[in-house]
Amino acid sequence: MRILRNIVVGLLAVWLLFVGVIYYEMCQPPTHFGAFVARLPEPLFLVLPFETLWMRARAGTLHVGDSAPEFRLKTVDRTREVALSSFRGTRPVVLVFGSYT
């Protein structure tokens, strides 16, 4: 019975360590995390609380009423860059990420 308990505790410790590594990697930039996940065997995703980790790692720190963080984007025609702060106080800004297809 004692051996079985030690095996279970050992497996639990390894699983927790692995979940910690995955969470740390999820907090890295998307390109880094994508390269890391690409090397993992698919069956591992069956034993990970992947969605819970992902939602926590990517939750961010913005709250309702906070100002959006400053960033710069190229215009559609790629002729210049526009900063979000250049619109502050002049007109509403709507950002759409993704595709319409």
Q: pLDDT class for 93, splitting at 50, 70, 90?
A: confident
DSSP letter, residue 63? -
Instruction: Decide: 48 and 19 in contact? Cβ < 8 Å.
Output: yes
What span, in angstroms and rounded, lies between the C-alpha atoms of 33 and 101? Answer: 26
89 Rama class: left (phi>0) / alpha (psi -120 to 50) / beta = left
Q: How far apart are CA 34 and CA 29, in angstroms?
A: 9
pLDDT digits (tens, 9 = 90+) for 41-85: 888 878 788 888 888 887 777 788 888 888 888 988 999 999 988
The neighbouring-strand residues paired with 82 are: 73
Report in angstroms the alpha-carbon separations of 34 from 4, 18, 28, 99: 37, 17, 10, 21
pLDDT tens by residue, 13-40:
998 998 899 889 888 888 888 888 889 8
Token pair, residue 85, equals: 């702060």
pLDDT at 100: 67
pLDDT band at 99 (very low <50, low <70, confident <90, very high): low
Residue count (the chain): 101
